[in-house]
Structure 1
Amino acid sequence: MVRPLRLQYAGAFYHITVRGNRRQDIYVDDVDREHFVSILSDVAYSRNVICYAYCLMSNHYHLEIETPDGNLSAFMRDLNGIVSQDYNKRHGKTGHLFQGRYHSYLIEKETYLMEVARYVVLNPVRAGLVKQPEQWRWSSYRATLGQVESPSFLATYALLKFFHNRRPQAQKNYQKFVSEGINVPSPFIEIEQGIILGSPQFVHEVWNSNDITDEIKELPREDRIVGRPMLGDLFDKNMTKEARDQTIVIAHIRCGYLLSEIARHLGLDQSTVGKISKARRIPNSRPDPILK
């Protein structure tokens, strides 16, 4: 199976979904759920990850997180690994608790933070488990409203400040915003290509970051082709030669296009494209987006 890209950089913002193996339930009882929240708290602290929203369903869970250190893979490895060990130990089981790799969307924070936060806490309502989000104990909704004590890892203020600069009014606005979204379609239906939810400018900036490093070359080509932009979206007919040459590297190394595919698209000899790619493949140490 082709694995999706992992776009990672300092300050990246994500929606995460993890499902149970063979879509089985990942919680037997409320003790399992309490353990999950406790482990999430510990791992978020140890990996310096900011959690804006979460929701535990029967056979999957949702997170809305930010990674100041650009360490999504390490965070998810720790979280799912410790949760699986705890579950298996408690129930005398072995094997995988979760289904393969987690699914992640890279999100444009300024544009979609509120919508994704709403989507996360409305999952139980959309699934028909409850009529109102406050009736579901296992999400961040009630804590964000101040109805229950907020767990230490939950960044309620960081979310609420998008609704108002004073907490009581922000909570009222948040509650109204969530209530109005029950019949609003998922924001993820707006994604036309792959794994990025954001404005065209944001998508373009992510895919065209100049921070090409040797780490990207370690990815198998099949790991780079899910969610990649079309060659026609990468190359602008009016771009300078300098920009074209750098984009050749991006298309080949980051997005997994064959040199022959790039050459055919540009109307160049494959040998010419190969020389450009090799000559311009210079590591850059700036902490912009990289793929892992």
Structure 2
Amino acid sequence: MGRKRRVWIPHVYHHIYSRGNNRQNIFHDEIDMTEVFRLLDMIHIEYPISISVFCILTNHYHFLLKSESASISKVMCIFNKRYTDYYNRKYHHIGHVFQQRFNSSPVLTPQNLLKVSRYIHRNPISTYMPMAMKMEDYPYCSYQYYKTSTPPPYSFINIHDLPSSLYPQINKTASQYCQYVESEI
């Protein structure tokens, strides 16, 4: 029996995540993290993508990704394949790098977009042993760009869509978005 087809809705962000095989670490150092961004930048040149939230931890990643011209299956297939090739060469690894094909779900409402983004951004401080004391201090998460107003270094990172998802009665700014993410759940 074949796999269920992926849902792809252009103009909608999708929560995409994948984990290392057997929950093993697949991002070991700064060079591995840099490779993630290099690959996403290369993909962005051929298939324009927009990532409003990302968090790359040692054994998994999360993206809120939107692709208007190519399916997310195509985009993520390229990403996972290229990262696997890189990883296998660098670490002389044979076999699966990722536990399974990536997981994804479209995020259809502004409220859900905010909830998913909060979950992703809080990952580094919510782990069993926190990877950072403050979300903005974790270097492989997009939260730093919202908190510090530092322009993202890559054109595929879009920090403008999330604040516009805030409830109508709230000022739609990055600062208000950060207050939402940092508030107690």
TM over 0.5: yes
Instruction: Find the counterpart in structure 1 of residue 30 from structure 2.
Output: 30
Aligned residue identity for 2:173: A
Instruction: Find the counterpart in structure 1 of residue 136 from structure 2.
Output: 134
Q: State the identity as a percent.
A: 25
Aligned counterparts of 2:124 and 2:3: Cα–Cα separation in 1: 28
Aligned residue identity for 1:111: Q
C-alpha contact 1:9 1:69 (8 A) present in aligned 2: no
Change (3 A) 1:162 1:9: closer
Change (3 A) 1:72 1:48: same
Instruction: Find the counterpart in structure 2 of residue 160 from structure 1.
Output: 163
Instruction: Find the counterpart in structure 2 of residue 144 from structure 1.
Output: 146
Aligned counterparts of 2:2 and 2:182: Cα–Cα separation in 1: 38
Q: Deviations over 1:71-104 (max 9, x none)?
A: 1110010111111111222223232211111111
**Structure 1 residue ranges without an equivalent (≥5):** 185-292
Q: Paired residues, what number? A: 180
Q: Deviations over 1:103-131 (max 9, x none)?
A: 11121143322221111111111113223
C-alpha contact 2:110 2:166 (8 A) present in aligned 1: no
Q: Deviations over 1:142-190 (max 9, x none)?
A: 12334544022101122233349xxx9712101111101xx42xxxxxx
C-alpha contact 2:111 2:166 (8 A) present in aligned 1: no
Instruction: Find the counterpart in structure 1 of residue 63 from structure 2.
Output: 63
C-alpha contact 1:13 1:109 (8 A) present in aligned 2: no
Instruction: Find the counterpart in structure 2 of residue 20 from structure 1.
Output: 20
Aligned counterparts of 1:28 and 1:2: Cα–Cα separation in 2: 34
Aligned counterparts of 1:80 and 1:109: Cα–Cα separation in 2: 27
Higher Cα Rg, which structure: 1
Instruction: Find the counterpart in structure 1 of residue 175 from structure 2.
Output: 172
Give the alignment of 1:108-257 within 5 angstroms.
108-127=108-127, 128-150=130-152, 151-163=154-166, 170-180=173-183, 183-184=184-185
What is the alpha-carbon root mean square deviation over aligned residues?
2.4
Change (3 A) 1:169 1:105: closer
Aligned counterparts of 1:81 and 1:115: Cα–Cα separation in 2: 29
Aligned counterparts of 1:152 and 1:99: Cα–Cα separation in 2: 29
Aligned counterparts of 1:131 and 1:24: Cα–Cα separation in 2: 23
Aligned counterparts of 2:45 and 2:55: Cα–Cα separation in 1: 18
C-alpha contact 2:53 2:64 (8 A) present in aligned 1: yes
C-alpha contact 1:54 1:64 (8 A) present in aligned 2: yes
The structure whose RCO (Cα within 8 Å, separation 6+) is larger is 2
Shift of 1:5: 4.3
